[in-house]
Amino acid sequence: MEALRLYAATGEGIARLDRADGAWQVEQQLPGGAAQCLAVDPADADTVYAGLLGGGVQRTRDGGRNWDDCRLPADDVFSIAVSPANGVVFAGTEPSALYRSDDGGESWRELTGLLELPSRPTWSFPPRPWTSHVRWIAPNPHDPDVLLAGIELGGLMRSTDGGETWEDHRSGAQRDVHSLAWHPEVEGVAYEAGGGGAAWSEDWGETWTPADEGRDRHYTWSVAADPDDPQRWFVSASTGPFRAHRQGDPQAHVYRRENGGWRALEGGLPDPFPAMPYALVSLGETVLAGLANGDLWQSDDRGDTWSRCGFEGDALTRLVALAAPSS
């Protein structure tokens, strides 16, 4: 079993997970940081950016041993991304705002064009209806000018000039955006998991096609694309937000879509799930599901069968996001 590294946002910090000889070693990092999101630089597996509530953006350049403050001019960060095409770093905040750094987090510029969209007065996050946030940022891996941003709750927005100007909510997409992904190899294919279902695009995010038939749960949260086949992708889903995010049975499944249909993946996974699958990572044959209670489940056959990962070192009690360095 080959070596593998993951970084996890736990809500209380960042954890580094290293798999070697089948065992996972966990090291807690950035203690005391209310980490909600993270992104690994595709060009350097040791450079990681973490978005914190109340703490802006933190950065490590040595695999997590040391962290420094990137001095983002905003406190509450809900999304962060590094463009695979040109290394630009993006950070999304609450209240909704989007920032861009062209020098690895040394300086930031707000992309005010996002806030000029006609739909902005309607953006509202139901638990805090007076505000909203940029839940997800997805830079296209093939064209540095193409960028998707998801507002929770407000819509799926697209830019074709690196974030300077924006197109309002895209036809066919979910307005309650939870996560977005581009296919890493096939140009122009993108995926969405949202509060009312899932959707995908084959035209660089301009238009979207709902993809919900065959699933009995439509509150989708995380999405991941199989790098070997653009028709194969994964979502985690529950029956609704209360089940998904509160203690007790989340009524959740992980689903795989291929050949135009969805299949609930049940081989070895617990039923019921002990917690919502908040994060999915697809690395080809290996698929990983991170649960809200800190569990990590692993499949080495694209989701047909699963096993719970055992940890050595520090404990994981919560998990809200996962990121893997590019291979």
Q: How far is CA 253 from CA 45, 234, 261, 271, in A?
A: 30, 11, 15, 9
φ and ψ at residue 20, rounded to 5 degrees: -145, 130
Domains of the chain listed by start with CATH number = 85-313 (2.130.10.10)
228 DSSP assignment: T
- The three-class DSSP label of residue 46 is coil
End-to-end CA distance of the chain: 15
Reported confidence tier of residue 56, pLDDT bands at 50, 70, 90: very high
- pLDDT tens, 124-156? 999 999 999 999 999 999 999 999 999 999 999
Reported confidence tier of residue 33, pLDDT bands at 50, 70, 90: confident
Q: Where does residue 160 fall: left (phi above 0), alpha (psi -120 to 50 degrees), or beta otherwise?
A: alpha
Q: Where does residue 188 fall: left (phi above 0), alpha (psi -120 to 50 degrees), or beta otherwise?
A: left
pTM assigned to the model? 0.95
Residues paired with 179 in a beta bridge: 193
State percent of the chain over pLDDT 70.
99
- pLDDT tens, 234-279? 999 999 999 999 988 999 999 999 988 999 998 988 888 999 999 9
Contact of 274 with 298, CB cutoff 8 Å: no
Reported confidence tier of residue 182, pLDDT bands at 50, 70, 90: very high
Q: Say if residue 32's pLDDT is above 90.
A: no
What one-letter code names the amino acid at 52?
L
- Rounded to whole angstroms, the Cα distance separating 37 from 281 reads 14
